[in-house]
Amino acid sequence: MADVVLENLTKTFKKRIVVNKLSLEVKDKEFICFLGPTGCGKTTIFRMIAGVETPDEGTIYLDGSAMNDVPPGERNVAMVFQSFALFPNMTVFDNLAFPLKVKKTPRDEIKKKVSEAADVLRITHLLDKIPAHLSGGERQRVALGEALVRNPKVCLLDEPLTNLDAKLRAEMRVELKRLQRELGYTMIYSTPDQIEAMAMADRIAVMNFGRLEQFGTSDDVYSRPKSLFVAGFIGSPAMNFIDCTFAEKDKQAFLDTGVFTLDVTDLRETISKSNGSEMILGFRPEDVIISKTKPDKNAYTAKIEVIEHLKPDKVIDLDVGGPVIKALTPSAFEATVGEKVWFTFSKFHIINKKTKETIV
């Protein structure tokens, strides 16, 4: 296995920067996810690591050695695609054996490696079948097997579960994580699905328009987002955002949303160091606390506009006289549309509107 280091990696297509000065390190035997919307540069990063795309700038290191001038076939990097990329006229055994035959591996060794991979992936009973006779999950296991029989230093998985149904995706997430732990592979996974990334990755690289927004654990990107993009992209339902203005008066500091004010005197010094007074207040739906009686002076009034029953929870849209605020509550909370309630929030973030960077 190996560690992977990307240093100042940049790629441009027709004057459009697809990957912008990307630098990060993937540790040996680590499971990393590149997470971001379609077009953020994930696949291009994978193609550069595999060697089928050449970076305009920067260096790719594999196990401490620069790979920029090393041909793809000599990098020992395996890639699993969204489309499975199986030969339809070959049996599962022949599909698994193909990369070994290309390397002129002895027949006995091919049989041994295919048998070992099939046993680990639990597809031994499928070796005589062709892909057309397999389910989506079985085809995905075979595609993964094609990568594993080569004993690669790094395994790249480019949105491998996208074509599977929701139930099978959930099962395969568990299966992939199990395999990575058991086999000790360095795996780099790309997905636009935050649930996949949060469930599987040791660390997540959140990408936006070719730029790395944040690289950290699932708890880091969820609880301590570094930017407006990360705060909004991670979490379901998405974080609530309200434009506001930072103001100080009589030794007090507060955020004025135009609908309500939030006392931030304790954060006064930190916020004052930020450039400008225009801010964005952000708080997650699960941090919104709703009550039918006014709990204290810091609660704000709202009217229930919409109720979504998403067992075992409810998502309640609150009309506060400005932007709609979403609150996530247990199903047991009884509420009706049009009812007046009070709300507050247990945790919040303050983001500089100009720089889009998180202050608190």
> Which tens digits make up the pLDDT trace of 61-100?
999 999 999 999 899 999 888 777 889 999 999 999 998 9
Regarding whether 248 and 209 lie in a shared domain, the answer is: no
| Per-chain mean pLDDT for the chain | 92
Regarding whether 203 and 253 lie in a shared domain, the answer is: no
DSSP state of 129: S
> Lowest-confidence range among 58-62, 146-150, 234-238, 344-348?
146-150
- In this structure, is residue 309 part of a structural domain? yes
Which residue matches tokens 């979504």?
308
Non-local (6+) Cβ contacts of 39 within 8 A are 209
Q: Residue 173 has what pLDDT? A: 87
Regarding whether 139 and 26 lie in a shared domain, the answer is: yes
Give, for 149, the enclosing helix (H) or strand (E): none
How confident is residue 310, by pLDDT bands cut at 50, 70 and 90? confident
Regarding whether 176 and 271 lie in a shared domain, the answer is: no
Regarding whether 206 and 72 lie in a shared domain, the answer is: yes
Regarding whether 200 and 75 lie in a shared domain, the answer is: yes
Regarding whether 130 and 152 lie in a shared domain, the answer is: yes
Q: Is the dihedral of CA 183, 188, 190, 193 positive or negative?
A: positive
Checking DSSP bridges between strand 240-249 and strand 278-283, what pairing results, if any?
Answer: antiparallel
Ramachandran sector of residue 113 (left: φ over 0; alpha: ψ -120 to 50; beta: rest): alpha
CA dihedral 41, 43, 47, 50 (to 10 degrees): 120
pTM of the entire predicted model: 0.92
Cα 26 to Cα 19, 93, 201: the distances in Å are 17, 32, 12
What's the whole-number mean pLDDT along residues 282-294?
Answer: 94
Q: How far apart are CA 206 and CA 59, in angstroms?
A: 20
Longest dimension (CA), the chain: 83
Q: How far apart are CA 134 and CA 92, in angstroms?
A: 9
Q: Residue 196 has what pLDDT? A: 93
- In this structure, is residue 10 part of a structural domain? yes
Regarding whether 227 and 206 lie in a shared domain, the answer is: yes
**Residue ranges making up the domain that contains 56:** 4-233
Q: How far apart are CA 96 and CA 241, in angstroms?
A: 49
Cα 151 to Cα 10, 30, 108, 176, 227: the distances in Å are 29, 16, 16, 16, 38
Q: What are 139-169's pLDDT values in tens digits? A: 888 988 888 888 889 999 999 888 778 888 8
Q: At what angle do helices 136-148 and 92-102 cross, to 10 degrees?
A: 20
Regarding whether 250 and 136 lie in a shared domain, the answer is: no
Q: How far apart are CA 127 and CA 91, in angstroms?
A: 6
181-208 burial code (b ≥16 CB/10 A, e <16): eeeebbbbbbbbebebbbebbbbbbbbb
Regarding whether 282 and 142 lie in a shared domain, the answer is: no
Count of CB atoms situated within 10 Å of the CB of 307:
15
CATH number at residue 137: 3.40.50.300
